Structure 1
Amino acid sequence: MDKETKNVSLEDVDTELYTSWMNDVLRIQDSNLELILNVIKRRYDVEVVVQDLSLLNEKFTGKVPLNDNLSVILEQLEKVSDIKFAIEEGRLIVRR
């Protein structure tokens, strides 16, 4: 609703973006790495260390299967970006 004009508009929404997590899939559309890392942190109970904070603004679109092993997810993210991930001493290290 537009408060100034008092017009109401309806838009089609891709509900899968908001419900895919119920099927152990994270569907992202032009989402930044910060969002993805927050999901990974909660889902896999891992501390995340980002060495270059500008990486948090990198954008991704696609589906991330959350029932996969964390290393599989990280490999997929590496394939579509120049970001590198490593598990060191129980922490997820993110670097360029």
Structure 2
Amino acid sequence: MGDDGEAVFRTDTAPPDARQALCRIAADAATLLGAADTRARLRICDGHNCSGRFVDKSVGRRRRWCSMAICGNRAKAAQHRRTAARSTP
């Protein structure tokens, strides 16, 4: 994980087979879930049809989306369309 809670993909350490890749994923999950402060900030994205997980490192702990550029933008655009449709006579 990066400092901002986003997943970091490193291509310089590619595992040679699927079993080792799964072992790395399991080790990363154990590290992530093993820390109480990180576990308390783990969230599931509120985006429609998104189940992304992220660590909420925002000051107010109110982050809602895995990515503001994708899920957050879609949610805000949908809200704008609903509001505009209600105000149209």
Q: Which has the higher contact order (CA 8 A, sep 6+)?
A: 1
Using the size of structure 1 for normalisation, the TM-score is 0.30
Structure holding more helix per residue: 2
Q: Which has the higher strand share?
A: 1
TM-score by length of 2: 0.31
Q: Which protein shows a greater Rg?
A: 2
